Amino acid sequence: MSRNSNKLDIDRSASVLNALIRHKLFIPITFLTCLLLINVFIKPSFLIISMGKDSTGNPVLIGNLINILNNATELVILAIGMTLVTSSSRGQDISVSATVAIVGGVIMRVLCGSETQPSVLHAPVILALLLGCLAGMACGVFNGILVSKFNIQPMVATLILFTAGRSIGSMAMGGLKPKAVASFGYYGNFIPGFPIPTPILITIAVVAVTILVLKKTNLGLYTRAVGINDKSSSLNGLNPAMIKLLTFVILGLCVGIAGFVQSSRVQTVNPYTIVPGIEMDVILAVALGGNSLGGGKFNMAGSIIGAYTIQTLTSMLTTLNVNTNAVPVFKAVIIIVLVAIQTPTVKSFFNNKVKFSKLTAGDGKERG
């Protein structure tokens, strides 16, 4: 009786472990947890959050975790849009950083006009946000039409704005580099009297709206269907071209919000240096989230966790005083390892190991 009971316990434990390993969020959460533990080992006070003061003397929350949540805002928002684009089009948009420059240029032109240092804003901030989002969505429409109507591979289609976007952003500002008044900085830093960084609140709002949209609409289902097989989805009454276009427009909206936050952080925009290389971090965040870069399925929660993982990795390299120019090299090596672990070959290897351990443990008990 005890032998059968022990065998059942072993089987149950192996099944639970196997189910845990197979869970779509297991790898992203494990990566993030490991990075956090490494940071704690390097700096024991890493997880401590306390009250401090900002540059104007207002009480604010400070700490490494707050910095990670704050600095990851643009990455998280862009990863949401990139996840949908990847799922539907089976490719990635590499123009997001250049499009952020366009959005930033439009926002600064609306707020500052033709002045380099205006004493007051030339328009309400909400208007600048709306026009910035419209500019980002217009870029999304441009990319989306090339992909959905002309069947151009996404990376090739978005290469156009990747090349020209920063110059367009500079032209939008009339070749100037204006600096908005300090009050515009509230949206990229702190609202006076409120201790939580505003970008964190914006991230929460965007994530909440995303969850609501995916729950209340068929966007997720249609996106997966088109990504798996657009011809089959069209036979089932869907319009693959329209769904692909819609995902690019949604990414454009995400770019608009991210560009607004980034512009507000320093109240100005340099279109040639703003968020350099963020498109690669966004794609890596999507990959780390367990999403298929070949389209057809997506894990939005995994992408969000992947974005925070990338930011945590960047924070760790900064803590280790790694040279800024060398950070991409270290990041690339670590990311290669993390992504390789998620490949079908490696997953199959670990699954076989679990099954083998289960059989070995069972045989040992029976012999005893």
List the domain boundaries for the chain. 24-321
Retrieve residue 253's tokens.
Answer: 């909206």
Collapsing DSSP to helix, strand or coil, 141 comes out as: helix
Q: Are 78 and 282 in contact (CB under 8 A)?
A: yes
Alpha carbon distance 48, 62 (integer Å): 9
pTM: 0.90
Q: Give residue 39's identity as a one-letter amino acid code.
A: N
- The residue assigned the tokens 């910035």 is 132
- The residue assigned the tokens 């960047």 is 314
Q: Give the torsion sign (CA, 232, 235, 241, 247).
A: negative
Beta carbons within 10 angstroms of residue 319's beta carbon? 14
DSSP one-letter code for 53:
E
208 Cβ contact list (under 8 Å, min separation 6): none
Q: Give residue 121's identity as a one-letter amino acid code.
A: L
Alpha carbon 224 to its chain's center: 19
Strands annotated E in 55-134: 59-62
Q: Are 269 and 116 in contact (CB under 8 A)?
A: no
Retrieve residue 208's tokens.
Answer: 């909440």
Retrieve residue 291's tokens.
Answer: 């999403």
Alpha carbon distance 107, 179 (integer Å): 11
- The residue assigned the tokens 């454009």 is 252
Per-residue pLDDT of the chain (368 residues; tens, 9 = 90+): 456 666 666 666 666 667 677 777 888 898 899 999 999 998 898 889 999 988 778 899 999 999 999 999 999 999 999 999 999 999 999 999 999 999 999 999 999 999 999 999 999 999 999 999 999 999 999 999 999 999 999 999 999 999 999 999 999 998 888 999 999 999 999 998 899 999 999 999 999 999 999 999 999 999 999 999 988 999 889 999 999 999 999 999 999 999 999 999 999 999 999 999 899 899 989 988 888 888 888 899 999 999 999 999 888 888 888 887 887 887 777 767 766 776 677 767 766 665 655 566 555 544 44
Collapsing DSSP to helix, strand or coil, 261 comes out as: helix
User: What architecture (CATH level 2) is domain 24-321?
Assistant: Orthogonal Bundle (1.10)
Give whole-number Cα distances, 132 to 106, 259, 260, 277, in Å.
Answer: 6, 8, 7, 21
Smallest CA-to-CA distance from 103 within 129, 71, 121, 77 is with 129
Alpha carbon distance 168, 151 (integer Å): 25
